[in-house]
Amino acid sequence: MKIISQTKAHGGVQGVYSHLSTSCRCDMTFAVFIPPQAREAPCPVVWYLSGLTCTHANVMDKGEYRRMAAELGLIVVCPDTSPRGADIPDEKDNWQFGSGAGFYLDATQEPYAKNYRMYSYVAEELPALIAAEFPADMARQAIFGHSMGGHGALTIALKNPQRFKSCSAFAPIAQPSTAGWSKPAFEKYLGKDEASWRSCDATSLIDDGYRFPEFLVDQGTSDGFLDDGLRPWLLEAACAKAGIPLKLRMQDGYDHSYLFISSFMDDHLRWHAERL
């Protein structure tokens, strides 16, 4: 692991790091905020997964999480959203696929299967590195995210309910296997057999029997992607049918930006801290 930067913030340390990933077969960059309480004892870990076009830096620069994380004693880990590099297959003119759009799944189709293994990276490889290198209490973990990352948080939590104490999301893509802006990416990553997509789709996982104790979701009513891409009512219906408590808060007038996310960041961190 290489240290790119370490900067004091709210009594803790905001760091940016990189390492050679065996899952993605390239150098991966990630951010970690260590609260001041970690000087005394290991602290619980909250994972934040970013959305389409983002890197680790978007939430680090705009998410306004450090003050509350320092108050609550939470380590916040912010991975990248995809593998990157000159040798990584990509569609440079397509912001909904490739670089910045890994969808937190493991691709099965060539030429993407070699590098686009973001599920394995976020769910397995990076947690092992965090456990080895940081003062983290890995028995207490939570996960949340935004848009593509909100969906990623839901799927990873549903597949690993024994690991995560809580899960929340900002404007998640509720059913990417049928949304216009994500369905083409699923076909390129996973092939034409749509039945194989179900294991990477939150609402399908719930319909297929996967369970999690509860979810918190915030969604802006003025989000331009609401009706065609995000469709939280699909998640609401799946949770209701499965008996999963879902606290869906439709936030009047808010859009899809980090102004929306930062407005409710404290609420989400408190939600996770209570359950951790």
Mean pLDDT rounded to a whole number for the chain: 98
Q: What is the 3-state secondary structure (H, E, C) of 229-265?
A: HHCHHHHHHHHHHHCCCEEEEEECCCCCCHHHHHHHH
Query: Which phi and psi angles does 236 have, rounded to 5°?
Result: -60, -45
Active site residues: 147, 223, 256
Question: Residue 118 to residues 26, 207, 239: CA-CA distances in angstroms?
Answer: 12, 23, 25
Q: Which two tokens stand for residue 29?
A: 């960059």
Over range 202-208, report the average pLDDT. Answer: 98
Question: For residue range 103-143, what is the model confidence (pLDDT) as tens digits?
Answer: 999 999 999 999 999 999 999 999 999 999 999 999 999 99
Over range 75-85, report the average pLDDT. Answer: 98
- Give me the residue label for tokens 């994500």: 182
The type of residue at 204 is S
The type of residue at 75 is I
**How many CB atoms are located within 10 Å of the residue 120 CB?**
16
Question: For residue range 152-162, what is the model confidence (pLDDT) as tens digits?
Answer: 999 999 999 99
Query: Residues with Cβ < 8 Å from 128, sequence gap 6 or more?
Result: none
Give me the pLDDT at residue 173, please.
98
Give me the pLDDT at residue 53, please.
97
Q: Which two tokens stand for residue 48?
A: 């934040």
Over range 192-205, report the average pLDDT. Answer: 97
Model pTM greater than 0.75?
yes
Give me the pLDDT at residue 270, please.
98
What is the C-alpha to C-alpha distance for residues 252 and 247, in angstroms, rounded to an integer?
Answer: 16
